[in-house]
């Protein structure tokens, strides 16, 4: 998953957070808060950071990323899970910058911190459980780093993990409570929501796409080995 082409928070809630409308007042209030005020502005800035990095305007991107991080450290009002979602993208952006700078160890650490933010979000607000799928993006980025390091065994290990996640044999992540979050958990989550037919189709594509697990693994493998740069996931 990548940041939406148009950038604003509204596009994100229309794509990744399509299910929030069915999560009752809690989900609707979270969506409205994410789309408004300082949260929306910081989200827009993070989108700009990624665009700057992708066009190799690293100094400008680094300055804007630092500005976002400073504001988050000072504290922003609102839902803690939204703040942690913003931090998740701060660490992803840092990982991309570190990757472009050949600082692979720091990039790995930043990806781990981004993954940690997702676990915190899932523990704070259960209605955001589908965000567990972000963890597959972090594994893809770790595989790309291993490719740059020519650590082929590590690349294969990451690819095998991705296939096991797609088949439900491995979890997206394990919460601090020890609870694993698997494909079946997300399927149960969507099954319990009052979604219309179109939303159920979207949920299916969100979780499984239009390819079998083995075909998806082949596509991911091709991207890992073929792309010159690491692509940081969206919200």
Write down the mean pLDDT value for the chain: 89
Q: What is the pLDDT of residue 8?
A: 47
Q: What's the pTM value of the predicted model, to 2 decimals?
A: 0.88
- What mean pLDDT is predicted for residues 223-233? 56
Question: β-strand 173-174 against 180-181: which pairing, if any?
Answer: antiparallel
* Contact in structure between 64 and 45 (CB atoms under 8 Å): yes
Q: What is the DSSP letter of 176?
A: T
Q: What proportions of the chain, in percent to the nearest 5, are helix, strand and coil? A: 75, 5, 25
pLDDT digits (tens, 9 = 90+) for 12-24: 555 789 999 999 9
Q: What is the pLDDT of residue 224?
A: 80
- What mean pLDDT is predicted for residues 196-221? 88
* Pairwise pLDDT comparison (190 vs 226), residue with the higher score: 190
pLDDT digits (tens, 9 = 90+) for 123-141: 999 999 999 999 999 999 9
Q: What is the pLDDT of residue 29?
A: 95
Residue 39 neighbours by CB distance under 10 Å: 20
* Pairwise pLDDT comparison (209 vs 70), residue with the higher score: 70
Residue 175 neighbours by CB distance under 10 Å: 15
* CA-closest candidate to residue 47, choices 86, 19, 99, 104: 86
Residue 65, CA distances (Å) to 70, 77, 162 in order = 9, 19, 29
* CA-closest candidate to residue 35, choices 49, 22, 21: 21
Whether 231 shows a pLDDT value over 70: the answer reads no
Whether 235 shows a pLDDT value over 50: the answer reads no
* Contact in structure between 94 and 65 (CB atoms under 8 Å): yes
The CA distance from 172 to 180, in Å, is 8
Q: What is the pLDDT of residue 223?
A: 78
Considering the chain, what percentage of its residues have pLDDT values greater than 70? 90
Any idea where the domains of the chain sit in the sequence?
9-226
Whether 145 shows a pLDDT value over 90: the answer reads yes
């Amino acid at each position: 998953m990548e940041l939406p082409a148009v950038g604003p928070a509204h596009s994100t809630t229309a794509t990744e957070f399509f299910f929030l409308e069915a999560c009752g007042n809690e989900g609707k209030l979270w969506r409205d808060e994410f789309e408004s005020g300082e949260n929306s502005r910081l989200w827009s800035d993070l989108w700009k950071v990624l665009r700057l990095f992708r066009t190799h305007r690293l100094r400008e991107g680094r300055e804007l990323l630092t500005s976002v991080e400073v504001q988050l450290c000072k504290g922003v009002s609102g839902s803690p899970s939204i703040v942690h979602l913003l931090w998740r993208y701060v660490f992803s952006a840092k990982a991309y910058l570190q990757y472009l700078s050949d600082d692979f160890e720091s990039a790995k650490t930043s990806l781990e911190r981004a993954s940690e933010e997702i676990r915190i979000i899932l523990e704070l607000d259960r209605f955001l459980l589908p965000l567990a799928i972000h963890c597959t993006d972090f594994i893809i980025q770790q595989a790309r780093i291993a490719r740059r390091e020519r650590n082929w065994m590590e690349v294969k290990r990451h690819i095998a993990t991705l296939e096991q996640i797609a088949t439900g044999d491995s979890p997206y992540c394990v919460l601090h409570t020890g609870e694993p979050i698997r494909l079946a958990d997300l399927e149960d989550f969507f099954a319990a929501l009052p979604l219309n037919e179109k939303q159920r189709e979207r949920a299916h594509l969100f979780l499984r796409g239009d390819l079998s697990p083995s075909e998806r693994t082949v596509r991911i493998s091709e991207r890992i080995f073929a792309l010159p740069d690491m692509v940081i996931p969206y919200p």
